[in-house]
Chains A and B, each alone.
Chain A
Amino acid sequence: MNAIEFHGIGVRHPLVHRRVPTLKEWLINRGATETVDNWFWALKDVSFSVEKGDTLGIVGGNGAGKSTLLRVAAGIITPSHGEAIVRGTLAPLIELGTGFDGELTGLENIYFNGALLGRTKAEITARMPYIVEFADIGAFIDAPLRTYSTGMVSRLAFSIATTIEPDILLLDEILSVGDATFKSKCADRIRSFRDQGTTILLVSHDLKALEDMCAKTLWIERGSVREYGPSAEVIERYLEESEAAAEASADVELPDFDTSDQESVEG
């Protein structure tokens, strides 16, 4: 049984070149600005499936469409083409801490975030000790969130999303936040999730960690699936190509700033 299926998913956004849109302008142009024929395809004909209990790694350059892909799976972005099927409860961790409110205390934020992730009050209360313990923020739990450090916010967010026990967990660049101790705690928890049969989609630039944790890897390039297969192979080719691209761009000569020239202008 597949936990996630993508069938020819396409996501497009209007390419907006105009200034901040105002209703006044729109009325003057009689809605002309809304006839977009310039689309940016964030995802193009993406098809893949993830077996229940699998951990899928997702790699690709900046802006390749990795986060868009997670958002489609989470139901945050409705696709412009195709169909996505998701089986089971899902917790997305896409931008850490965006669902937090600075004025609310850590405890209040836990309830609020739990609600965002579709949990009832009783379910959150039952898991509260585990959330607080894993986040390891001590007495700050009763302080307003605006007094927290970035690391504390990330820990709390990760702790909430992983303690509510979803069937599917979407993690976007989670391994890159927090200090070394917390990173290894996160990795341990992800592994234990994997062992319990949770389906995980993991976006990361930490290729070593990906290869270590994911049996399969999906390589996204400019919105399309470039490769999908066993992690070791996909990551090896991805690395080769990234290095080749880096070398190629290193060969481009940067224009020199001629200091003598500048002096002469100033002088």
Chain B
Amino acid sequence: MSGTSEIAEPPSGSETVRRFRADQTAGLGEELRDLVRHGHLLQSLVVRDLTVRYKRSIIGFLWTMLHPLLLTLIFVLIFSAFFRFAIEHYAVYFLSAFLGWNFFAQSTSAAMSSIAWNGMLMKQVRAPRSIFPLSTTISGLVNLLLSMIPLLIIMRIQGIPIRPSILFLPVSFTLLAIFALGVSLALYSLAVFFVDVREMYIVLLSALMYLTPIIYPIEIVPEKFLWIVKMNPLRYLLETLRAPIYYGIIPPVRTLGISAGVAVFALVVGWLAFRRLSPRFYAHL
């Protein structure tokens, strides 16, 4: 049973002609053109994500920035109380990687949580199906950018110089976003079919967070567990954030190379899974 799909012909005259038929699979090019055509919908989905979340709260958008700050406070207290490993400017050390982690964790799980509501939309109108996981990744990215503001403020307060290396961040964000989108596409496809994927993933996420050097430096990991932490692809992606922010350097070529490879690999796998499974979404929504 091959996938089903549709092709849109270029408009003849002023008119769009759409053909919906069984025996074709949507190509990447067609999906991208379709996404561009639905630019306003993508924008609306992102705006909706960002506004609805805080609609009923008094300080609204400020939560996006307050949330990482409060978490930092907790971790700074725990870290200074329980660990003997001293890290200079721990708050910045922690935040520079944690904000990236937070983006990854939130956007990938939000992609799955949004299925119920998106399912209703998908039953009512036609839109490129990848628009929904794409929109959660983009709104996560907006939140990530906003959460950079309190980080910069902390850096100013602690007197850490903000170096030109910070201009490298757009590249780091892009790599992380590509990775998150790939994982979102794969998880979204799975979660449409299986209700327990989300629950499993949430558990997996909290384990993964402690297996990634975010709250602790990799140096304190005991030798025999080191391989687990080293195998974790997120380590490299988060390092591309920590290097320009905390260390004030452009990430090493090796880190960048692995990050880019992992990100592209995730996107390719995610897209292939999504393309294969998305024609069957409707029956399971």
Name A's B-contacting residues (CB within 8 A): 13-14, 20-24, 26, 71-72, 74-89, 92, 94-95, 98-99, 101, 103-104, 108, 111-112, 114-121, 144, 167
Contact = CB atoms under 8 A, between A and B. Distances in A.
B87 to A, nearest CB: 39
Contact of A87 (B15, B20, B195, B197): B15
Contacts of B20: 72, 75, 78-79, 83-86
B51 to A, nearest CB: 8
A76 B197 contact: no
A66 to B, nearest CB: 15
Interface of B: 4-6, 15-22, 37-38, 40-41, 43-45, 48, 51-52, 55-56, 120-127, 190, 193-197, 200, 279, 282-283
12 contacts: A76-B124, A76-B125, A79-B22, A81-B22, A85-B18, A85-B19, A88-B15, A92-B126, A117-B125, A118-B41, A119-B40, A120-B40
From A86, A104, A114, name the one whose CB has the most chain B CB atoms within 10 angstroms: A86
A29 B195 CA distance: 16
A155 to B, nearest CB: 17
B5 A83 contact: no
B72 to A, nearest CB: 29
Given A22-B194, A78-B22, 10 more contacts: A71-B123, A74-B125, A78-B6, A79-B21, A82-B22, A83-B22, A87-B18, A103-B56, A112-B48, A118-B38
Q: What are the nearest 4 A-B pairs in CB distance?
A: A75-B126, A23-B194, A78-B4, A83-B21
Contacts of A71: 123
Contacts of A82: 21-22
A111 B40 CA distance: 9
B4 to A, nearest CB: 4
B17 A78 contact: no
A104 B6 contact: no
A111 B280 CA distance: 29
Contacts of A81: 22
Nearest to A6: B20
Nearest to A124: B40
